[in-house]
Structure 1
């Protein structure tokens, strides 16, 4: 359950950025997995794909960095490092 909440929160933040930037879609999501977040890159990817279905991040490429530092202050977290967005063109954005 903890993993699902972490990924849902991440997807919510990604959708907020998409809306704020008037992006059509997310091309790439770069994340950092803390040593104590209890998710392997494969497990994270499964959760991400499930939660991203139907969102601007549905087709996003994932770039995942993992940490093995259990003493890192954010060792239990999943951190959004960066997003690459595909922005609407002026013609698509409307008047």
Structure 2
């Protein structure tokens, strides 16, 4: 388990992206070049992909989203959700034989 705050990442965002499917592979490649992008998930629903990003502060997150995601060819629209508070559930480890 990574402790993001210990690594200096104080802000987490989930960004939903709608894209032109002709540019899918290029968009994903470009997203992974952005510092702070940790995970990209192809999803069902309102967005085509959800990007999990980390930054040191809100100013850096703004730059990652506006200058990073905003410049990628084929991105039609995006909406970002800044994590305000996290609560986790501890799941028991169940090893099946």
TM normalised by structure 1 equals 0.31
Specify the structure having the higher radius of gyration (Cα): 2
TM normalised by structure 2 equals 0.31
